[in-house]
Chains A and B, each alone.
Chain A
Amino acid sequence: MKLLEVEGLTARYNAGDVLKGLDLTVDDGEIVALLGSNGAGKTTTLRAICGLVPHVSGSIRFAGTQILGMKTAAIARLDLAHVPEGRRLFPGLTVRDNILLGSSNRPGVARADLKREVDAMLDFFPDLKPLQHAYAWTLSGGQMQMVAVARGLMAKPKLLLLDEPSLGLGPLIVQQVFRIISQIRERGTTVLLVEQNANMALSVADRAYVLEAGTLLVSGKPDALWNNDQVRMAYLGGLAASA
């Protein structure tokens, strides 16, 4: 079943289209990677899905609902979570409260149940447990990334958008983050993953799209992309050739 269907999406900020007629789908239960060089329009794609880009046209259907033109908070309340570029934690709130606020798309849930959910989330991210009462601004980059992902998962999202979760993290933490992404899928959450680290992204993804200057260059299964010379040269780096 198609969970997210993007058709003919164009987006621009002020001058010039940043996305030029993008088509993209994510099926229920998939991990889909969105790759491309700096400035290709990956972040813009995720922001457009969430109603954060001022000028958009085309169609974005999520779980059967046309969400293009809807307000950001209303889109979130359809159970679509976005872990944005740069983590964007609330610096003056504790780790616990940051995670707790991830449930804001489900305002009806009782506080006692939310408390249990946060505790369960801290079990899922044991590294965060001792930090739960620390202010978010005191954390390291890797710890912040985990809080951001935990906050996203607190939405119990049908679809989780992850924008460069490995950015700025050391190799060990990157591996940990990708392990978590695999575990997220095992929990039944669908993921649209934007990454610079194409090797890692393709290792967990079911399918991938490669963007170039706002249009789709190629898409397919990881194997096919590994074997596409043009893609390998441009986006997968030297490592891919030897992998």
Chain B
Amino acid sequence: MSMLPQLLFTGVSIGSIYALVALGFVLLIRSANIVNFAQGEFSMMGAYFMVILFAGLGLPYALALVLAVVLMTVFGVAFAWITYWPLRDRGQVPVIISTIGASILLANLILATYGPSPQVLPGLFDGTGFLVGNVFMDSQYLSIIVITVVLVALQYLVFEKTMVGKKLQATSQDREMAALLGIPVVAMIFGTFAYSAALGGLAGILVAPILYVSVGIGAMIGVKAFAANIIGGFGSIPGAICGGFIIGIVETLGAAYISVPYKDAFAFVMLIVVLLVRPQGLFGERIAEKA
């Protein structure tokens, strides 16, 4: 009996996590030209907020989850205020360095508070899952896929159909012109940070039961999400989502058929292949610093 359908299910689910984080990453590029190297740490923070609220304070899971996501939006605004706002007129590179600094700081803050040992978080549902054909639909993996699909669809609708979405796109394409039209560009950018942090945090909470919660989770997810963006085409929203799924599937299949210890390497092999064969990425135009 082939393992393939089961592996694809797992791969799509893990890929969903990467897609969510990559989506938050690409939104910041698109709304404010910000390359945020602390995107993975958003997931780490989300998971640790959950550790505090659920494991620590003993709140009901659903309430803790909602609160953690709300806290992440606040965290996103604070993050923008500290790492981006003072450097907003200095170009891209200082902000990149500042986000790298923030990611190191956050990881060490967690390390100092919780130490290196991983924390355990339960999943969304108590039930373990059900069989469809010969594929076991684990409830956590399945809920990750469903939530991702819903969020992606919702975001598509917001971006393409609502006035706010169009204003966000306008802000990303020409910030000065957007301001000339009366669009509150600062609010748009801070809002994107808040949303991006919430997405990343949610991804961290969803993946926590699968990966354990530890300091390393941020860097691991961040790097995969970054790779997903390059594979999909830097700055492309559909590219980020597809890139996330591709990495999830490739590393799951690679781990099963080739080598488990090298699981994390497959994403990078994939990255190198794409850069050699199609350097602009699957959906991208060109990888070059935007003028």
Residues of chain B within 8 A of A102, CB atoms compared: 181
Residues of chain B within 8 A of A97, CB atoms compared: 166
Using a CB-CB cutoff of 8 Å, which residues 42-83 of chain A contact chain B? Answer: 50, 52, 71-73, 76-77, 81-82
Check B173 against A105 for contact (C-beta < 8 Å): no
Tell me, yes or no, whether A104 is within 8 Å of chain B by CB.
Answer: yes
Q: Which residue of B lies closest to A98 (CB)?
A: B170
Q: Which residue of B lies closest to A105 (CB)?
A: B182
A107 and B182 CA atoms in complex are apart in Å by: 9
Q: Given the known A-B contacts A88-B174, A91-B173, are A151 and B181 also in contact in the complex, defined by CB atoms under 8 Å?
A: yes
A32 and B78 CA atoms in complex are apart in Å by: 46
Most chain B CB neighbours (cut-off 10 Å) among A72, A106, A111: A72
Contact of B182 among A52, A88, A104 (CB under 8 A): A104
Check B176 against A52 for contact (C-beta < 8 Å): yes
Tell me, yes or no, whether A90 is within 8 Å of chain B by CB.
Answer: yes
Q: Which residue of B lies closest to A71 (CB)?
A: B179
Tell me, yes or no, whether A39 is within 8 Å of chain B by CB.
Answer: no
Residues of chain B within 8 A of A111, CB atoms compared: 163
| Contact count band on B | 10 to 19
Check B180 against A72 for contact (C-beta < 8 Å): yes
Which residues of chain B have a CB within 8 Å of any CB of chain A?
A: 163, 166-167, 169-170, 173-174, 176-185
Tell me, yes or no, whether A101 is within 8 Å of chain B by CB.
Answer: yes
- Within the complex, the shortest CB–CB distance from B62 to chain A, in Å, comes to 33
Contact of A100 among B166, B178, B184 (CB under 8 A): B166
Check A92 against B173 for contact (C-beta < 8 Å): yes
Q: Given the known A-B contacts A90-B174, A92-B173, are A101 and B184 also in contact in the complex, defined by CB atoms under 8 Å?
A: no
Q: How many cross-chain pairs have Cβ atoms below 8 Å apart between A and B? A: 65
Check A101 against B180 for contact (C-beta < 8 Å): no
- Within the complex, the shortest CB–CB distance from B92 to chain A, in Å, comes to 19
- Within the complex, the shortest CB–CB distance from B167 to chain A, in Å, comes to 6
Closest 3 CB pairs of A and B: A105-B182, A76-B182, A72-B179
Most chain B CB neighbours (cut-off 10 Å) among A90, A107, A151: A90
Check A88 against B167 for contact (C-beta < 8 Å): no
Q: Which residue of B lies closest to A114 (CB)?
A: B163
Q: Given the known A-B contacts A101-B167, A101-B170, are A90 and B182 also in contact in the complex, defined by CB atoms under 8 Å?
A: no
- Within the complex, the shortest CB–CB distance from B235 to chain A, in Å, comes to 11
27 contacts between A and B (CB under 8 A): A50-B180, A71-B179, A72-B180, A73-B181, A73-B182, A73-B183, A73-B184, A76-B179, A84-B177, A84-B180, A88-B176, A88-B177, A90-B170, A90-B174, A91-B173, A93-B169, A93-B170, A100-B166, A101-B166, A101-B167, A101-B170, A101-B178, A101-B181, A104-B167, A104-B170, A104-B178, A104-B181
